[in-house]
A and B are shown apart, each in its own frame.
Chain A
């Protein structure tokens, strides 16, 4: 029995041995494969593997199965879709050149813009925000229109308002970004992503106002020039007009937005479109029946200009470039180029630098703190100065008041003396008067006495006389 068990055991062991042998061979094969792959990747990447490891450089690795992160772009897109997109367009052009109509046509909505008058004293900007939705994509669209551009007699300040508006949007974004408690992912981005500059269809060349405005804006925003009301120009004139415009822009150093050509999927179409700039557009919200369907068009007695017909105008190209192909790139350029430039300039203007005098890296906070200390110091100094001045003034005032008091006192004394003099004079006079009265009274009394005496004497004499007389008898 034991031997049988033994033999069984032996066969089992044999079986397991072969199995494990197979397994090891198999695993060796796999390991070899992996090692081979590894070696290949080592060879392909760089000769010095150790240095690479120390550099912590990423080495390319091949996967032996499906991991699943190819759904990453989808995850990203889903997240963005739920958040919604934001796009801001600025339309610059003279009054009545067709900005609002073009926007209506472009986005297939009636944006309810009323006509503006030609008598605006200054250029104003009017921004309106709309929520659009197409299938499952939500777009928060802001259209900014210039009101009264090119209407004034003196157009020197026209561009300034536009530049200020763009700067204000950058500024508010910068403020939000530098806040301590911020919510950037919820922030309604109001920076201008694209600027459509409407060129009047004169057929000759750009106006000087156009050149000046575009030159001021080219470093702040993506400019896409369009020729408005293109149905007034014939094809040959249009061709010459476009060439003239582009050459003028180039010779004046205006950098308009170039559609990106580095991505293979869109480079072909973008290069083609770059050659068609500026786009000659016609806008219309009215529909005309052509054949058996309704198209957006303008009806003239001599024919119908179809907006979406590529032979008639470049509207489709504009829509394609602005929305379908390059919207994301426009937003990216605004954020990474124009906004960064603004930010850098603004912060450098305020005195922040990346490296200080000894070219050691200095962080924003250090500079800020240094500035703040400086500011506080200055404030304190000014406070001290003010305090000194205050004390001085108080002293002066005090002296003045004392002086005045003394004067008053002197005056008072003088007046008192005067009064005293007067009083004594009056007293004197009174005494004199009284003396006189007394004298007069005395005299009067004396006179009366004398009179009385005289009367008495007279009476006596009369009496005597009477007696005498009577005595005679």
Chain B
């Protein structure tokens, strides 16, 4: 095996009459092969097929989940805004509803699905309120697995797996409650969780810091793994980047879809009698960090972690379960009857 380091900055004029516009300057190099054009091809293909992203919001009612989703994606993506006759009712059981939208920005199409969990943590007896959620997540994995295992598969398997779960913590200022710990513990194993402190404008900056420290301590004490998980850092660079993010988890966010005038600019904010809380101001709340993490830098990573790690774990578990009866899909030589499993 050998390496060839070609330097495309060598500009040598060359007599080449034909060739597409965007490649003429590349053809000027003598040792040009063209391997890096594969990046463009990939980009083109990605833009044509579009992206899919499924995000789940979990939290008690009244914590501002729908508003935060609307703020995050700058349009009415939540269930509340979609159903014409929406009434705020406390559901008797937790059941999940998902709404899908296709949003486009600068040529990039994304099919966004927001899965809402009304009724979570709202009852008097909240035992096992995470079960419908766990069941839903596993159902999506199961659907994907079944499609992947079928003989005639589709070209692109529709991806309904939950890529990210945003968990809303009420701004009590104390520490994690039992329901939080139970939920985070169970779901941290099967999906990437990003915890946020909701309605953070009720806490001052110092209170937020305290609260965050306590939460981080609780998370560590209960061995809860939230995104970005330490074990999946690929190299030192990743680790440094993710460590910075991990220091800030959970993000203290404020959501709104109203705009106000501040210093002549229109900003998203909440207007109160004592001032305007600017959502996109880093000094006021950490919404920008949260949005950047989720969308601008780690969206692909979230999808990859879901596909490569969580889905694979589910698949191993599922195939091993059926292995209890002595089933394993690894030996395909069953027809010849040679290898007895």
Query: Are B151 and A347 closer than 8 Å at their CB atoms?
Result: yes
B150, closest chain A residue (CB): A354
Contact with B along A49-67 (1 / 0, CB 8 A): 1000100111111111111
- B12 sits at the interface (CB 8 A): yes
- B332 sits at the interface (CB 8 A): yes
Query: A296 to B76, alpha carbons, bound, how many Å?
Result: 60
CB distance from B12 to the nearest CB of A (A): 6
Contacts of B39 on A, CB cut-off 8 Å? Answer: 77, 80-81, 137
CB distance from A23 to the nearest CB of B (A): 8
CB distance from A411 to the nearest CB of B (A): 50
Query: Are A57 and B100 closer than 8 Å at their CB atoms?
Result: yes
Contacts of A266 on B, CB cut-off 8 Å? Answer: 44
B149, closest chain A residue (CB): A364
CB interface residues, B 83-119, toward A, < 8 Å = 83-84, 98-108, 110-111, 113
Residue of B83, B102, B300 touching A61 (CB-CB under 8 A): B102
Contacts of A353 on B, CB cut-off 8 Å? Answer: 151
Contacts of A347 on B, CB cut-off 8 Å? Answer: 151
Q: How many chain A residues touch the partner (CB < 8 A)?
A: 100
Main secondary structure of the interface of A (DSSP, over half): helix
Q: Considering residues A72, A73, A107, A336, which has the most beta carbons from chain B within 10 angstroms of its beta carbon?
A: A72
- A48 sits at the interface (CB 8 A): no
- B135 sits at the interface (CB 8 A): no
Query: A129 to B284, alpha carbons, bound, how many Å?
Result: 55
Query: Are A354 and B151 closer than 8 Å at their CB atoms?
Result: yes
Query: Are A137 and B38 closer than 8 Å at their CB atoms?
Result: yes
Query: Are B2 and A131 closer than 8 Å at their CB atoms?
Result: yes
Query: Are A59 and B101 closer than 8 Å at their CB atoms?
Result: yes
- Chain A positions within 8 Å of B, measured between CB atoms, are 23, 27, 30, 34, 38, 49, 53, 56-77, 79-82, 85, 106-109, 112, 129-137, 139, 174-175, 178-182, 184-185, 263, 265-266, 269, 293-295, 308-310, 316, 319-320, 323-329, 332, 336, 340, 343-344, 347-354, 363-365, 368-369, 371-372, 375, 379
- B72 sits at the interface (CB 8 A): yes
CB distance from A467 to the nearest CB of B (A): 128
Query: A85 to B44, alpha carbons, bound, how many Å?
Result: 16
Query: Are A308 and B151 closer than 8 Å at their CB atoms?
Result: no
- B244 sits at the interface (CB 8 A): no
CB interface residues, B 13-46, toward A, < 8 Å = 13-20, 23, 27, 30-39, 41-46
Query: A63 to B70, alpha carbons, bound, how many Å?
Result: 10
Query: A323 to B41, alpha carbons, bound, how many Å?
Result: 10
Query: Are A64 and B74 closer than 8 Å at their CB atoms?
Result: yes
B258, closest chain A residue (CB): A27
Contacts of B292 on A, CB cut-off 8 Å? Answer: 68
Q: Considering residues B73, B107, B271, which has the most beta carbons from chain A within 10 angstroms of its beta carbon?
A: B73
Contacts of A375 on B, CB cut-off 8 Å? Answer: 334, 337
Query: Are B332 and A178 closer than 8 Å at their CB atoms?
Result: yes
B300, closest chain A residue (CB): A75
Contacts of B332 on A, CB cut-off 8 Å? Answer: 174-175, 178, 350
The verdict on A38 contacting B76 (CB below 8 Å), with A133-B5, A134-B33, A375-B334 known, is yes
